[in-house]
Chains A and B, each alone.
Chain A
Amino acid sequence: QSVLTQPPSVSGAPGQRVTISCTGSSSNIGAGYDVHWYQQLPGTAPKLLIYGNSNRPSGVPDRFSGSKSGTSASLAITGLQAEDEADYYCQSYDSSLSQGVFGGGTKLTVL
């Protein structure tokens, strides 16, 4: 059971928009800690996709965007492409546990 809750899977057709939610609590996202998102392609190391809730590292397409409100955060992907098919993870810090925490991950399928 992950501290941050993500849907196990989402799907969308090429060109569509999908969102992935990340639900936390008052000891992590709700406490003001930043949320980061990672993309993991099969057989590879995770890659930072969004940092500080809504910032994109250099080289990440602007099709990817992040937001945060209250005890939740979301990753939105517009103009879905086949290459976006991957696992996505949210990550933050939990003050009750005094440790970093990940969501359980969401598998994105491009139909």
Chain B
Amino acid sequence: QVQLVQSGAEVKKPGASVKVSCKASGYTFTSYDISWVRQAPGQGLEWMGWISTYNGNTNYAQKFQGRVTMTTDTSTSTAYMELRNLRSDATAVYYCARGGSSGPQGFDYWGQGTLVTVSS
């Protein structure tokens, strides 16, 4: 069965960086893009960007350009999202999801989420 398993919760200080992993199983990793979505406490979903697992191409939301990097390791079927220069408003649950931003299939499988807390 398809699974996306994310790394555990993180606590970071303002200005630091965080790197969240998303390990895929149950399907051919390079056949589907991976997107990242975040949700601040009590707020809605926010699309951060996506990465092609086939060739590494990326597309980041304007809000995160220059501060986010998405990568993959096809040897371990793992996607990564690194967010730099964290501010307190980066406190959120970060999700990986299978699918690209404009595909016809939507985000059909989601990771369990990783809580990132930014606090001094």
Contact = CB atoms under 8 A, between A and B. Distances in A.
Interface residues of A, number: 27
Contact of B105 (A52, A100, A105): A52
Given A89-B45, A97-B62, A47 B102 contact: no
B75 to A, nearest CB: 26
Interface residues of B, number: 27
Contacts of B69: none
Nearest to B102: A93
Nearest to B44: A105
Given A97-B62, A99-B62, A46 B107 contact: yes
Given A48-B106, A99-B101, A100-B101, A89 B44 contact: yes
Contacts of B59: 98-99
Interface of A: 2, 33-34, 36, 38, 40, 45-48, 50-52, 57, 87, 89, 91, 93, 97-105
